[in-house]
Structure 1
Amino acid sequence: MRRAYPTAAPPRRTTLALALALGLGACAADGAAPSAGSATTEARPAASRSAGPESVMRMAAAAETAGDLPGAAALYQRAHALEPAALPPLLALGRTLAAMEDGRGAADAYSRALRLAPDNAEARRGHGFALIALDQPGMAADEFRTVAAADPTDARALGGLGIALDLQGRHKEAQEQYRAALRLKPGDASLTNNLGLSLALAGEYEEATVLLNQLVRSPLATARARQNLALVHGLAGRTEAAAEIGRRDLQPAEVQRNLAFYEQLRRMTGPDRAAAVLRQARPAS
């Protein structure tokens, strides 16, 4: 858990140990963004003060591509201020804030976008993922259902609905959504991962292991994929297997912290258990 999403929420007390260890996969895949105080971040908003909205949007896109997310967010906000009735700055702002794990800011940006264009699927999906980050899976599910009702081939909406249902402890229903999305996007790594985790939460450890092994055997396998497989072994009580996989990417102390966390997860039940797993284990959706 891009981490699916996603759109990650601030770690809960019960997810801290896993967040520290599994963060390795996200950092390796995504790279570290420059800090908000960098010279690039400071220079771009200064240059935007006399520029028109189209120029500001180009500067923002360049900053986002370069990984300067704080600078990009400031520029997208500037573009919105210059042209309040334009939809693209708000969509881009929501996307950037979500990537910065600012769920509240992303939700606000997408809400404003929906006021301009209530039928915009990107805005409604983005709002759904932001609501997940804010621990509001019921409201998120409503957003994803609205998108899927308008377009049953929207695999991202179906996958998002699966996450929202999993977070409510409704794993069988979630799996139906992931499988429907996978029929539209066969082999999609994020959807396959999410289905595997959902199966594990439902106690279907063998099928979950098969699915996540497929991802781990891929030439493009990431540390996050391997550690999600370790997590499934941990949920199933297969401590040695979890430790063996964990050692592929993590230091011994991190592996031990994760093993302790898996034991804690095995004692949890219901939506709290689902949230503790899914908040940190998913890649972005």
Structure 2
Amino acid sequence: MENETTKFHAPRLARLAAAVTLTSVLALGGCASTSGTGESAKPASSATSSTPAMSARSDDAVKDAAVTATKTQDHVAAAAYWGELYDRHPDNIEAALNYSRSLRQIGSISQAANAMQRVHTLNPDNADVLAEYGKVLAASGRPDQAIGYLSRAARQNPKDWTILSAEGVALDQMGRYGEAQQKYNAALALDPGNPSVLANLGLSYVLEGNLDTAEQVLRKAVADPRATASTRQNLAIVLGLKGNFEEATRLARADLPASVAENNIAYLKEMMNQPAIWKQMETLNGAPAATPASTSTQ
């Protein structure tokens, strides 16, 4: 059971971390997280973006282009191609699922939600549709709705770690951190060491106010070659929250221009320079927190 101190301080800590995370995302040029709700890189709707040449292509040719774009992680192109197939065949589950996944990758969450609402109406009991719709709802900040779809999907596909991880995200959004962490650990039991699950688990500990454990988990995540830039930036934020600005700056520079990384850390440092925040850190960590004056940045 959470103690009252953690309950009181964790929301403010979460807002602080979220504010700096937003700065990092913007500094990366609008790259959108799959768990975010931003629409920073959304393509034109597939119906209006198709050129005459594209429209003249056969379904097989469009699908081949979509598969190639997906494999090469050209998510904008993948969204355009899968979207064209989806517009041609709205009852095609494969096209709808891949269209939604590509849209999530580029942060076009509202478009993904519209697509999945439509395909779910046609296929209300399909496990893959339930899972993807639940993930989209979680990404759009509707965890209460997401949980229902994800739970139904999990009952049909209990070995799918992605569903368990998505359930964890939704539970974190609801402030049910212990339950979320159980879901992440269950996902890790199916796919040990998965860096995306570890990243979610680490952020769950941040939201809970457990910075030491968050650091341990995020360090394990970034040690994996598959770790993303956002995971490294989240570790940098945690290190900054703990007053380790020197290492936080070095880590931030791994993916950002030096000036941007330093500005981000300076912004965090300025926020952390407020006495009330440092007192909060002492309470959360159980020991006096390092102050900005006792650390240095490169």
Report if TM-score (shorter chain) is over 0.5.
yes
Which digits, 9 at most, give the CA deviation of each residue in 1:87-141, with x for residues without a partner?
A: 2222222122222211011011112221222222222222222223322122122
Is the partner of 1:152 in helix, strand or coil? coil
CA contact (8 A) 2:85 2:95 kept: yes
Identity %: 34
**CA, structure 1 residues 161+96, in 2 after alignment: closer, same or farther (shift >3 Å)?**
same
Q: Which amino acid aligns with 2:209?
A: G
**CA, structure 1 residues 122+23, in 2 after alignment: closer, same or farther (shift >3 Å)?**
farther
RMSD of Structure 2 on Structure 1 (CA)? 3.5
Give the 5 Å matches for 1:1-285: 16-21=22-27, 45-65=51-71, 69-219=75-225, 222-250=228-256, 251-261=258-268, 264=271
> In the comparison of the two structures, how many residue pairs are matched?
247
Q: Which amino acid aligns with 2:117?
A: S
CA contact (8 A) 1:114 1:123 kept: yes
d(CA) in 2 for partners of 1:247, 1:50 = 46
CA contact (8 A) 1:52 1:82 kept: no
Provide structure 2 residue ranges, at least 5 long, that are not aligned to the other structure: 1-17, 34-40, 281-298
Is the partner of 2:182 in helix, strand or coil? helix
**CA, structure 1 residues 87+244, in 2 after alignment: closer, same or farther (shift >3 Å)?**
closer
CA contact (8 A) 2:110 2:140 kept: yes
Distance apart, 1:175 and its partner CA: 0.5
Distance apart, 1:241 and its partner CA: 3.8
CA contact (8 A) 2:32 2:107 kept: no
CA contact (8 A) 2:198 2:218 kept: yes
Q: Which amino acid aligns with 2:127?
A: A
d(CA) in 2 for partners of 1:79, 1:136 = 28
Distance apart, 1:253 and its partner CA: 4.5
Q: Which amino acid aligns with 2:205?
A: L
Q: Which has the higher Rg, Structure 1 or Structure 2? A: 2
CA contact (8 A) 2:43 2:76 kept: yes
Structure number with the bigger relative contact order (C-alpha 8 A, sep ≥ 6) is: 1
CA contact (8 A) 1:53 1:83 kept: no
TM score, norm. by length of structure 2: 0.69
CA contact (8 A) 2:143 2:173 kept: yes
**CA, structure 1 residues 63+204, in 2 after alignment: closer, same or farther (shift >3 Å)?**
closer
